[in-house]
Amino acid sequence: MVNILDLSYEELEEFLVGLGEKKFRTKQVWQWLWNKYVQSFDEMTNISKTVRARLHEEAYIRWPEVVTSQTSKDGTIKFLLKLHDGALVETVLIPGSKGRYSQCLSCQVGCAMACTFCSTGTMGFKRNMTQSEILGQVLVARHFLNDVAERPILRNIVFMGMGEPLLNLENVLKSLNTMHSTLGLAFSPRRVTVSTCGIQKGLSELGESGLAFLAVSLHAPNQETRAQIMPKAARWKLDDFMHALKNYPLKTRERITYEYLLLGGVNDSVEDARELVKLISQTKSKLNLIVYNPSEGDPYKAPSEEAVLKFQKVLWDKGVTAIIRQSKGADIKAACGQLVADQKKTQDNC
């Protein structure tokens, strides 16, 4: 049997035709799954009981199970989710303006990149997530928000949770295609961002797909610092990485977003800022500065406010658009780099 949420529209059509159904049935089932968010075939009321019974025999609908949810004092909501095999992942809803939310999605159970400042890396890599598990996070969030309006309040998606998207590119691209279907979740590609720390294989394929904006977890102004704090990502030399980014296909008015995590005494000096200007000026870009959120046992500290402001001033003075991104959810360990799926730790923090 198959989790029907793992099927693309084309695969669903093939599946239903294989059951002896007409192609038009595909649109009906798809909309029940991705527009009305049903969790049982019995809820598909415009489909005959005979067809529903056949679907019960050949397939099932399974969402991730919500183990715990936590709400930060700033309104950020973090879910700990259990997948079909018991694996645990986290996803975060981030409040924005006018009552709208962005969602930070995970795409792998754990992460193989082991960046030294990221809690997720301490889990190691366990496995890739499927479409039903990736987009199941969105279904859980919209159900939680009772988000079924014509203008949904969950508006933006960022693949910045657990895992490296380009190391699960097949399932990420499949999920992006499903996410953009106007018959279902109907997210615009302009409201979806995929982040990478720098994986050579798959970067150009993501760009050519045109399915999402690109964010780059840079975090260092030179190869030496990058190798120190992101040793696995740094295997792709920074000069070569930047050359690939210079040739990355961008739509009209689109820019690459660089994410730069400021680590106290490591990459937050004025000289680091000057190096960073030279580096990212090679591409059409904007920069998000993120102030480090320390976690228990981490080897790094947050930079001083003075250092952050000096760093930003150098960038602005050189014409680089640099925004200090407000960190949200730190009190429930939902901020950048803090996701680590552990049921006991989550319960301890409640």
Residue 306 marked in a binding site: no
Length of the chain: 350
CA 229 to chain centre: 21
- pLDDT, position 170: 98
Residue 118 marked in a binding site: yes
- pLDDT, position 332: 54
CATH fold of 2-60: DNA polymerase; domain 1 (1.10.150)
Write the Ramachandran bin of 40: left for phi over 0, alpha for psi from -120 to 50, otherwise beta.
Answer: beta
Write down the catalytic residue from 13, 90, 133, 259: 90
- pLDDT, position 47: 93
Q: Which three-class secondary structure state does DSSP give residue 58?
A: helix
- pLDDT, position 152: 73
- pLDDT, position 341: 61
Whether 346 shows a pLDDT value over 60: the answer reads no
Distance CA 10, CA 14 (A): 6
* Residues 285-294, mean pLDDT to the nearest whole number: 92
Distance CA 142, CA 209 (A): 26
Nearest to 248, CA basis, from 203, 281, 286: 203
Least confident of 27-41, 248-262, 319-333: 319-333
Per-residue pLDDT band for 336 (boundaries 50, 70, 90) equals low
* Residues 180-197, mean pLDDT to the nearest whole number: 96
* Tally of helices (H runs) and strands (E runs) in the chain: 11, 14
Per-residue pLDDT band for 43 (boundaries 50, 70, 90) equals very high
Residue 164 marked in a binding site: yes
Residue 163 marked in a binding site: yes
* CATH number for the domain whose boundaries are 65-349: 3.20.20.70
The percentage of residues in the chain with a pLDDT greater than 90, rounded to a whole number, is: 83
Per-residue pLDDT band for 49 (boundaries 50, 70, 90) equals very high
* Domain spans in the chain, listed from the N-terminal domain onward: 2-60, 65-349
Q: Which three-class secondary structure state does DSSP give residue 86?
A: coil
C-beta of residue 52 within 8 angstroms of C-beta of residue 308: no
Whether 35 shows a pLDDT value over 90: the answer reads yes
Residue in this structure with the two tokens 């649109």, named with its chain if needed:
27
Distance CA 308, CA 302 (A): 10
| Six token digits for residue 48 | 């005959």
Residue 219 marked in a binding site: yes
- pLDDT, position 146: 86
Distance CA 267, CA 262 (A): 6
pLDDT in tens, 192-244: 999 999 999 999 999 999 999 999 999 999 999 999 999 999 999 999 999 99
- pLDDT, position 59: 97
Q: State yes or no: is 254 an active-site residue.
A: no
pLDDT in tens, 129-169: 999 999 999 999 999 998 765 567 999 999 999 999 999 99
Residue 296 marked in a binding site: no
CA 280 to chain centre: 23
Topology agreement, domain 2-60 and domain 65-349: no
CA separation, residue 113 to residues 94, 117, 125, 157, 167 (Å): 24, 11, 8, 22, 10
Output the CA angle 157-159-163, nearest 5 degrees.
Answer: 155
Write down the catalytic residue from 104, 107, 197, 336: 336
- pLDDT, position 347: 47
Q: State yes or no: is 336 an active-site residue.
A: yes
C-beta of residue 215 within 8 angstroms of C-beta of residue 279: no
